[in-house]
A and B are shown apart, each in its own frame.
Chain A
Amino acid sequence: MPTIRFLLADGAELAVEAQNGRTLMETALESSVPGIIAECNGSAACATCHVVLPEEIMVALGPISEHENDMLDFAEAPRESGSRLSCQVRVSDMLDNVSVRIPSA
């Protein structure tokens, strides 16, 4: 089981054991990670699950959908180069020990 390291907006870190195949958003919700609200339950409709991933992971995850791309441009916290909607990212071993930052709005 990969461990995801959520970096909270206040600087604290919350390490969470995650299940492969679930989304990063689901993983965050299960541990009540502050700042991940996910109002649309992962429909890519709300942008309240915005996270920032390291550059190399972004590359490895591959291209994102046009819809997600548009949503990210206007998420509450300003978009960064590593921005993703966490509901659109599946957990895999590749994310083991990766820092997933919650941007502050």
Chain B
Amino acid sequence: MPHDIDHLVAARPGNESSIVIVGAGQAGLSTAEKLRANGFVGSITLVGEEPDAPYQRPPLSKAYLLGELERARLKLKAEDWYARNRIALRLGTRVASIDRARRRVCLADGAILAYDCLVLATGAIARKLPQAISRGLAGIFTIRTLADIDALRPALEKRGKLLVIGGGYIGLEIAAVARGLGMTVDVVEAAERPLARVASAETAASVEALHRSRGVTFHVGKAVSELLGADRVAGARLGDGTIIAADVVVAGIGGMPETALAAGAGLAIDNGIAVDAYGRSDDPFIWAAGDCANFSLSGGGLRMESVGNAIDSADLVARNIMGARQPYRPKPWFWSDQFDLKLQIAGLSRPGDTVVVRQGAGPGRSHWYYREGRLVAVDGLNAPRDYLVGKRFLAASASPDPVLVADPMQALEAPANN
């Protein structure tokens, strides 16, 4: 363990303490909320670079982009919630640096805030296309923030042809929305299938088949070598010479943990801000939660980009700041909405796991992953029942007989909740 007990006692905040949280996203907000829920009465300041109060990101590539959810509903808390909970919200300003020796942060607007305890919840940023490919053309977008969607929306209103670069979750969700809006959609994916890094081959194949049946054109195993056009993008040339016409390009080529602030302060960085199982960095007064944090657990490093992880890791950090000393026990789960498919994933599958398919009577099906005979993950594709039953098995560290799982006529008894 990198920190001894004295450090923990020394850093435990009292009534007069100030906690500064950097990043007003899901993890930052949840940390503030959970600090109050755990009885912290000192001052809390939540600093966010974006102009908007904490909001939900998942609908950005789903209902919000489709126009089915108004902007106001994205907000995670009502305006007066912050005052009622004595949380000072400083928006539209970036924390520029951390002075670890004096325990204070400098904001880009010049303000200086002292802290007894600092929480980094800086999230992730969307990877941008290299300049050699994008060539500074207009009409190329990445998706991470509300501002990104505000920029993309007018481009989609003209309908026309959308090219999505990268067949990950966000790319495919955008593709589905664009088809729903009546656009022509091409998806280029450099790996041999979409969702290559984030879902099993079986689940990816089902999702790809759905997209194809709805008119999305895939170019898999191909990379974009150059985007074409004079000043606005007009198309793309692929590595094999194929030319695709496009009016709008969305690059969904993955996210990177936002570590600039932490790295500038000399904190350990390893695929994110390196934190121990309690969420603490190598500075005993600095913690991290959410997309930016890479937890060092017994099975190795674990960094996830999901709402569930943002909420759970923030909850953990808040409790440990208050002295709980609990290690992170992640319960990975994720969902994605594409066309009329609701995909729900529990656990973490890996290539090489044994896959058992449970085909429902209707359109729903689920994929169950076993490693050395133990259930490690379940994907429900329009199969909420199977998903939740699987989640219970995972929570209980129990594994249903694969023979029963493969036979949809056999009911699966979910282990009782403990």
Residues of chain A having any CB pair with chain B under 8 Å: 22, 26, 29-32, 34, 37, 39-41, 43-47, 67, 70-71, 73-76, 105
* B73 and A26 contacting across the interface, CB-CB below 8 Å: yes
Q: A-B contact count, CB below 8 Å?
A: 60
User: Contacts A67-B342, A74-B414 known; A34 to B388 CB distance under 8 Å?
Assistant: no
* A70 and B85 contacting across the interface, CB-CB below 8 Å: no
* B58 and A43 contacting across the interface, CB-CB below 8 Å: yes
* B37 and A45 contacting across the interface, CB-CB below 8 Å: no
Query: How far is the CB of B335 from the nearest CB of chain A, in Å?
Result: 4
**Which chain B residues lie closer than 8 Å to A30 at the CB level?**
77-78, 81
Query: Once the chains are docked, how many angstroms separate the CA of A40 from the CA of B56?
Result: 9
* B384 and A70 contacting across the interface, CB-CB below 8 Å: yes
B13 near A: Cβ within 8 Å?
no
The contact sample of 23 A-B pairs, CB cut-off 8 A, is: A29-B76, A30-B77, A30-B78, A31-B81, A32-B33, A32-B36, A32-B37, A32-B85, A34-B37, A39-B307, A39-B311, A41-B58, A41-B59, A41-B307, A43-B58, A43-B342, A45-B342, A45-B384, A47-B388, A67-B342, A67-B384, A71-B384, A74-B392
Query: Once the chains are docked, how many angstroms separate the CA of A67 from the CA of B342?
Result: 10
Residue among A31, A43, A71 having the largest count of chain B Cβ atoms under 10 Å: A43
Q: Which residue of B lies closest to A30 (CB)?
A: B78
Q: Point out the residue from A22, A31, A40, A67 that lies within 8 Å of B307, measured CB to CB.
A: A40
Query: How far is the CB of B91 from the nearest CB of chain A, in Å?
Result: 18
**Which chain A residues lie closer than 8 Å to B294 at the CB level?**
none
* B388 and A71 contacting across the interface, CB-CB below 8 Å: yes
Query: Once the chains are docked, how many angstroms separate the CA of A40 from the CA of B384?
Result: 13
Name B47-100 residues within 8 Å CB distance of A: 56, 58-59, 62, 73, 76-78, 81, 85
User: Contacts A43-B58, A45-B342, A74-B392 known; A105 to B417 CB distance under 8 Å?
Assistant: yes
Beyond contacts A74-B385, A74-B414: 16 other A-B pairs, Cβ-Cβ < 8 A, are A26-B73, A29-B77, A30-B78, A30-B81, A32-B85, A39-B308, A39-B311, A39-B333, A45-B344, A67-B342, A67-B382, A70-B385, A73-B385, A74-B388, A75-B388, A105-B417
User: Contacts A22-B73, A70-B384, A71-B384 known; A45 to B311 CB distance under 8 Å?
Assistant: no
Name B323-348 residues within 8 Å CB distance of A: 333, 335, 337, 342, 344
**Which chain A residues lie closer than 8 Å to B344 at the CB level?**
45
Query: Once the chains are docked, how many angstroms separate the CA of A73 from the CA of B412?
Result: 13
Closest 7 CB pairs of A and B: A74-B388, A45-B335, A30-B78, A70-B384, A41-B56, A70-B385, A71-B384
B41 near A: Cβ within 8 Å?
no
B389 near A: Cβ within 8 Å?
yes
**Which chain B residues lie closer than 8 Å to A74 at the CB level?**
384-385, 388-389, 391-392, 414
